[in-house]
Amino acid sequence: MSQITTQLDDSGAVDPTLPPDPSRRFWVASACAVGGVAGVATAVPFVSSFAPSEKARAAGAPVEVDVSNIAPGQMITVEWRGKPVWIMHRTPEQLEHLGDNDAELADPDSQRPGYTPEYAVNEYRSRKPELFVCVGICTHLGCSPSPAFTPGPQPGLPSDWEGGFFCPCHGSYFDLAGRVFKNKPAPDNLEVPPYVFSADGTRITIGVDENNKA
């Protein structure tokens, strides 16, 4: 089994690789993180890890990822089923403010079906509060949002912005749990894929969980 990872911080460089599915042509914008609005993008470098063969990838082979070295405030991108999957290590400060904008969110409790597994129906949308895993594709028309982790007023974002993701294609934005704001083109929160942690908590396997067996 293999994986493809990407190290992300506020100043990282990027060398993205296009996914095999051309219908997801926009997701490379996430890896470059240069789309759309000045001042909100964060570079997302794309780094190779244990990648399945093309045939296995097309069949949806699980992807194992080492998460032990993701520093607080950083995010990596891995490829699963031809889609970008983001794994972010949220800081204590980011977790503290995660609920500040709940009243402005379309589905703050992740009750809409199809985008959040049962184990992620919580305020963090994750198995562990600090580690957030989601598919980096906007639920509107399949563009890939850009990380916009810096809080505060910025072009295209609310004045009380606490950090999250901005989709440059049609202006949807999501908080640091991938929850979409109200009255935006995206109809739903970002998808949380099936995943499990290893026994020691240092790795996750994307593509398997209690209801999805390898």
Continuous segment of H or E residues that includes residue 92: helix 92-96
Cβ contacts of 162 within 8 Å, gap of 6 or more: 94, 97, 98, 100, 101, 151, 175, 176
48 residue type, one letter: S
Q: Are the CB atoms for 116 and 132 separated by under 8 Å?
A: no
Longest Cα–Cα distance of the chain, Å, equals 46
Q: How far apart are CA 105 and CA 114, in angstroms?
A: 17
Continuous segment of H or E residues that includes residue 76: strand 75-80
The residue from 89, 97, 140, 170 that is catalytic is 170
Helices (H) and strands (E) in the chain, counts: 3, 11
What angle (nearest 5°) sits at the alpha carbon of residue 16, between those of residues 81 and 168? 85
Q: SS3 of 105, please? A: strand
Query: Can 170 be counted among the known catalytic residues?
Result: yes
Q: Please identify every residue annotated as catalytic.
A: 170
